[in-house]
Structure 1
């Protein structure tokens, strides 16, 4: 297991839940705040290459819903990356890296596997 990096925004309830999960178990992680640090296009490309854009682009949030219709149509990987780079709050939260494959969304079972916790 490498360094655990939790990507998200601090006021997101799901991100808070994930951060609490790691903190209650005294598991070290680095928080990458999209609002302060943004997100590198290379990182988005890496995630989209592994998972496709659909699980990563949050189309249910207010930011996506507030986009002009022309931007919400005909989305492909390149367009999704462009949208998420311009508006990181549209990235599904949290994304946790540190193992073989990133974990998208809150998943305590996957966090246990990542951290080698036996139940």
Structure 2
């Protein structure tokens, strides 16, 4: 499957994994479009694309400080509730979310990103 020559990276400037993703693509001269989730949340449609591929649970950062800070670690967060939570509060997402055309990856996933580069090449 051919991929677009541009990669979209959703994350925050303060996230180390997002910084690594941006550096990874920059070093390989892949054009990136960075979406800072603190400035502009991912659209419901964008989130749905990742949720359908990986399952909503995979997108929720249960280990993150923000999840704990909101007291969600003591609440039962059902899979059905996750899409709304993530739309309302993008800081609960596992980052980075990386998309190139229809090819998707979540979190630190260098093996998947290398496939992106190969397909672009």
Alignment TM class, shorter chain as reference = 0.7 to 0.9
Secondary structure, in 3 states, of the residue corresponding to 1:75?
Answer: coil
Gap runs ≥5 in structure 2: none
Residue 91 of structure 1 aligns with which residue? 93
Gap runs ≥5 in structure 1: none
CA distance in 2, matches of 1:24, 1:112: 12
Deviations 1:1-36 (A, max 9, x none): 123101101110111111111111221110011111
| RMSD (Å), alpha carbons | 2.0
CA-CA distance at 1:49 after TM superposition: 1.8
- Would the aligned equivalents of 2:60 and 2:86 in 1 still touch at CA under 8 Å? yes
Q: What TM-score, normalized to structure 1?
A: 0.86
- Total equivalences in the alignment: 116
Secondary structure, in 3 states, of the residue corresponding to 1:26?
Answer: coil
Query: Is the counterpart of residue 15 in structure 1 residue 15 in structure 2?
Result: no
- Would the aligned equivalents of 1:7 and 1:93 in 2 still touch at CA under 8 Å? yes
Match 2:116 to one of 105, 114, 117: 114
Compare the two structures and name the one with the higher strand fraction: 2
Residue 31 of structure 2 aligns with which residue? 28
CA distance in 2, matches of 1:19, 1:59: 23
